[in-house]
Chain A
Amino acid sequence: MVRSPESPVLSISGLVKDVGPLPTLDGKMLRVVSGLSLVAERGQVTALLGANGAGKTTTIECAQGLQKRTHGSISLLGEDPDTAGAALRARVGVMLQDGGLPPSARPIPLLKHIAGMYQDPWPVGELIERLGIDTFSRTSVRRLSGGQKQRLALAAALVGNPEVLFLDEPSAGLDPQSRQLVFELISELRNRGMGIVLTTHLMDDAQRLADYVYIIDAGRNVAEGTVAQLLQHPLPPEAGEQHIRTLLFETDPGLDFTGVLPDGVNVTEARAGSYAATGALTAADLAAITAWWAARGIMPRSLSLEARSLEDVFLDISGREIR
C-alpha cells in the first residue's frame, strides 16, 4: 500500500498531551502523549496499536477535539479540530470507547435523532439492517449486550456518512458473528473512500483490518508500516536469524529430540505430549523431524507451523514486561 503524500484525512505532528495535576503524582502533571506523529489517508484503515494506557485514546480524542492538546499540531480534513465548527464535525464520525449513548434511549429513535443533525444522512433503515440492529430495536440501551451496544455506537458514528471515521477499540465486546459483520462493513467503507482511524490493543484486529499500523508505546511512536513491513521488522539480536518460526505438534509424551534438530532450534514440551520447536527452522529440519517420526512409527496428532506474528513484533518492540 502506497502512502500518498496528498491530502491525508488526518495528520498529527509532534503531539504532546499532559494531564493533571494528579494527586497521585504529588500534584504534578502526567505526560500521556509525548511527541507522537501520524498520518491517516483516505480509503485506508489506519490502526493505532498499543497496550492499554499507551496513549491511543488520548491521541484520537485530541484529533476529535474532545481533549485540548498541550503541544503539537493536528490537521483533520485540513482544519484544526480545536477551533472547528459544525461543518467539520458533520464530516467526521466518532465511536467512543464507552459508547456515549444515553441508557434510556431506544436504538431507532436515537439514530433518527442523530440523523436529524445532518443534511443528507445515511438512511437509518439501511444502517439498522446492515448492522443487524433490527433484532434489538425495541430494547433500551442499558439492556443491550456489549456487542449490541458496540454495533449501535458504530451506527451512530456512521449515520452522518462521514469522510473520516474514528473507532476506539471497535471489536471490544463483540461476539464472533458481530465481529465478522463489523469488520466486513469497515472494509467496505474503506473501499468506498472513507478514511478510518482505529485504536486497538488486539494484534488480530490490526492484522485483519489495517492498511497501515502505528505501534504506540508510552505515548510515542515506536514503529510504523504496513502489516507486511512490520512483520519484517528486525529482530532483537538475541533472536538470531530472521526466519524464526515455531513448529507445534502433539504426539507421545516424553520424547527426546536431542540430535534430531540443529543447535539453533529449541524443543520444549509445554504439556505432556504437546511440543513446540522454535528457531530458524528450515525445510531440511522439517524433513529431518518427520523422517525421525517415520523411523519410529510416530504419527503426530496435530502439526502446525507458525511464522512470526504481529504480536511477536509488538512484544519485541515494546518489551515483554507487564506494566
Chain B
Amino acid sequence: MTSDSAALGSAPPGSARPVSAAPDRSPGSAPAPLLRRIALQGKYETITMLRNGEQLILAVVLPLLAMVGLTVTPLLDGFGASRINVAVPGILALCAMSTAFTGQGISTGFDRRYGVLRFLSTTPLGRTGLIAGKVLAVLAVLALQVLVVTAVALLLGWQPDPLGWAPGLALLVLGAAAFTALGLLVAGTVRPEATLAITNLLWILLGALGGIVIPAERLPALLESIVHFLPSGALGQAMREAFLSGTVSPVPVLVLLLWTAIAGGAATRWFKWN
C-alpha cells in the first residue's frame, strides 16, 4: 500500500538463516470477505470441537446412552406413545444443550483465559465474526448429532410424525440460540474453571430434572410448574409436541425467545473479553 517503502530482497549480513523467498511486497493487506471469515472460523471451531474427546462424550455418547436407558426402563410409560417416540425428541433437545451450552461455554471460557478471544478480535475476524463463527460451529456439530441420534433412533424403532421435522428442527435451532446465549453469558463473566463447573452441573441438573428428556408431568409437583419456564423444559416440551403430533404451541416458543433475548442482551452487556 505504501509505494515509498523500498523492498529489501536479501537478508541482512550475518542473518541466522538464509531468506530464500524474501517477501518483496510492501506492507498492507485487505480483509477477506466477511462471510468467508465467518465460514472459516466456523469450520475451525467445528473441527476443534470434534477433536475434543470430552466434548464428544457429552455431545454424542451420553445422549445415546440416555436414549437407550429411556427405552429399556418404564420412566416414559403412560404418555400414549411408545417409549422411543417420547424419548427421542427430548434426546435431540439434550444434544442442543450439550453443544450450545456446555461445550461451547467451556471452550469460550478457556479461549478467554488464554487470550484467544482478544487476539482473534484484533484480526479481520473481529468480535462479531468470532461470535458468528461460534454459532456456526454449534449448528454444524448439532447437525451431526441429529444425524447420529436419528440414525440410532430409527434402528430402535422411532416413528416420528412426518410433520414434526420442519418445526422440530426450527425449534432445535431456537433452543441452540437460547443455550448459546446462556453459555456465552456464563463463559464471559466468570473464570473458566467456574464455567466448567456451572455448565456441567447445569447439564446434569437440567438433563435429569429440567423437563428436557423427562416430561414435566413426571417430575415432582413443585418442579413441574417451574420447569415450563426453563429453556430446557420449554425445548423438551415443544420438541415432543412437534415430533409426536406435528404441532407447535406458542408458550414454549415464547419462553425460548425470551431466554434468547435476555441471555443474549446480558451477554452483550457483561461479556468481558479479557
Contact = CB atoms under 8 A, between A and B. Distances in A.
Interface of A: 42-43, 64-66, 85-87, 89-92, 94, 96, 98-105, 113-114, 116-123, 126, 129-130, 132, 156, 160-163, 177, 180-181, 184, 187-189, 191-194
Contacts of A99: 114-115, 119
Contacts of A119: 29-32
A64 B122 contact: yes
B66 to A, nearest CB: 28
A170 to B, nearest CB: 15
Nearest to A191: B8
Q: Secondary structure of the B side of the interface?
A: loop
B30 A116 contact: no
B260 to A, nearest CB: 26
A188 to B, nearest CB: 6
B28 A163 contact: yes
Contacts of A98: 114-115
B5 A192 contact: yes
Interface string B240-274: 00000000000000000000000000000000011
A116 B125 CA distance: 10
Contact of A102 (B15, B28, B116, B121): B116
A100 B29 contact: no
A228 to B, nearest CB: 21
B29 A121 contact: yes
A16 B48 CA distance: 39
Taking residues whose C-beta sits less than 8 angstroms from the other chain, chain B's interface range is 35 or more
Among A98, A117, A126, A130, the one with the most B-chain Cβ atoms within 10 Å of its Cβ is: A117
Nearest to A127: B23
B30 A100 contact: no
A192 B115 contact: no
Given A119-B30, A191-B8, A184 B15 contact: yes
Interface in B1-44: 1-2, 4-8, 11-12, 15-17, 19-21, 23, 25-32, 34, 36-37, 40, 44
B32 A118 contact: yes
B124 to A, nearest CB: 4
B123 interface: yes
B30 A193 contact: no
Q: Secondary structure of the A side of the interface?
A: loop
A117 B32 contact: yes
A188 B32 CA distance: 26
Nearest to B14: A184
B118 interface: yes
A192 B27 contact: yes
Contacts of A42: 2, 5
Contact of B12 (A126, A161, A187): A187
A103 B114 contact: yes
23 contacts: A86-B124, A86-B125, A86-B129, A87-B124, A89-B31, A90-B124, A94-B119, A100-B116, A100-B118, A101-B115, A103-B114, A104-B51, A116-B36, A117-B123, A118-B30, A121-B29, A162-B28, A184-B11, A187-B12, A192-B8, A192-B26, A193-B5, A193-B26
B21 A161 contact: no
Interface of B: 1-2, 4-8, 11-12, 15-17, 19-21, 23, 25-32, 34, 36-37, 40, 44, 48, 51-52, 110-111, 114-116, 118-126, 129, 273-274
Given A66-B274, A188-B12, A192-B8, A161 B2 contact: no
Among A92, A160, A181, A191, the one with the most B-chain Cβ atoms within 10 Å of its Cβ is: A160
A184 B17 CA distance: 10
Contacts of B118: 66, 96, 100
Contact of A101 (B1, B27, B114, B122): B114
Contacts of A90: 29-31, 123-124
Contacts of A121: 29
Contacts of B114: 98-103
Given A129-B20, A156-B119, A161 B27 contact: yes
B122 A92 contact: yes
B49 to A, nearest CB: 11
Nearest to B43: A113
Nearest to B39: A116
Nearest to B25: A161
A90 B44 CA distance: 19
Contacts of A123: 21, 23
A181 B17 contact: yes
A180 B14 CA distance: 10
B56 to A, nearest CB: 14
Please name the 9 residue pairs, one residue from A and one from B, whose CB atoms are nearest each other, closest first.
A193-B5, A100-B119, A100-B115, A90-B31, A94-B122, A86-B31, A86-B124, A119-B30, A117-B124
A113 B116 CA distance: 13
B125 A117 contact: yes
Contact of A87 (B7, B31, B51): B31
Contacts of A64: 122
B12 A184 contact: yes
A66 B273 contact: yes
A137 to B, nearest CB: 15
B25 A116 contact: no
Contact of B115 (A96, A117, A126): A96
A46 to B, nearest CB: 15
